[in-house]
Structure 1
């Protein structure tokens, strides 16, 4: 399966699909997002390096605001009040957070992953088509210059 050309070459279908896969898993709050993106990119036959690299939109610097935004989306959709919390690096805090802010956070992550995955797919697909049209127009103009 790893010898499929779509996994390694950039074309409109494999690039937009890879971008969608990477964005989908970028919003998942798990430590192995790149592995998940790679595991799904292979059977979907989309560009493997691009899908793995796109996951890094959520990195240690961008993760707090992105995940907080996902939490706000979850509270809005669920109609639950926003709860104040402070981060602590211990197991008790994790268990308590899963019970209090966890449901809204996970719902928000799911909504954001589906939404931004679709937006990323259609946006990259559109930009790729636009680029090809522009290149064709330029090629025609260069081949048949106006007098």
Structure 2
């Protein structure tokens, strides 16, 4: 990544202690201050990637995704910042693809799919109330089941890819060490 971008993120991100002082986050303060949720380890990062991918695809509500991934990170003992960041896998560019794929997957499993109504709502930028009405229609189970299946499979694929990526990263670091450092 670009070093300027990383510096900007570091400079503008709140610290753990600033987050712990927030009155909204006071109920989970002990988890925010616990260092195990902020470390980058070979176990915490893949778990965070699993949680962030699953919640990011399944929940599809922008503000709640990061909260959901954070809450899921606590019992999984996953890295909270990584889980929250990975939820951005679903963003304004990818969300339509996930939703259409969810309708297709749900339709393949025998759930009724009202794809035309979905496209009409999507095309006319319908109000939240119209989307809620559509969710109570017969097509909602198709989308929910489809999103769950896509999220579950994607989360496990991302988890295993992160395990492999972590292993390759550590191996590269070992190879880059001078020969005198490898002697124990």
TM-score above 0.5: yes
Quickly name the TM-score band, shorter chain normalised: 0.7 to 0.9
For residue 39 of structure 1, report the CA deviation from its aligned partner.
0.9
Correspondence 1:42-53 to 2 at 5 A: 42-53=74-85
Q: Do structure 1's residue 91 and structure 2's residue 129 form an aligned pair?
A: yes
Correspondence 1:68-147 to 2 at 5 A: 68-78=100-110, 80=112, 83-85=115-117, 86-87=120-121, 88-89=126-127, 91-92=129-130, 94-139=132-177, 142-143=178-179
Check conservation: 2:102, 2:150, Cα contact below 8 A. yes
For residue 36 of structure 1, report the CA deviation from its aligned partner.
0.9
Please name the residue that 2:10 is paired with.
none
Unaligned runs of 5+ in 1: none
Q: Do structure 1's residue 33 and structure 2's residue 65 form an aligned pair?
A: yes
Q: 2:36 aligns to what SS in structure 1?
A: helix
For residue 54 of structure 1, report the CA deviation from its aligned partner.
0.7
* Larger RCO, structures 1/2 (Cα 8 Å, 6+ apart): 1
For residues 89-144 of structure 1, the C-alpha deviation after alignment (integer angstroms, 9 at most, x for no partner) is 252453244323211100001101111111111110111012212322333xx417
The 4+ residue runs of structure 1 with deviation greater than 4 A are: 79-82
Q: Specify whether residues 135 and 34 from structure 1 end up closer, same or farther in structure 2 by C-alpha distance, changes over 3 A only.
A: same
Q: TM-score, normalised by structure 1?
A: 0.84
Q: TM-score, normalised by structure 2?
A: 0.68
1:2 to 17, 32, 35: 32
Unaligned runs of 5+ in 2: 1-30
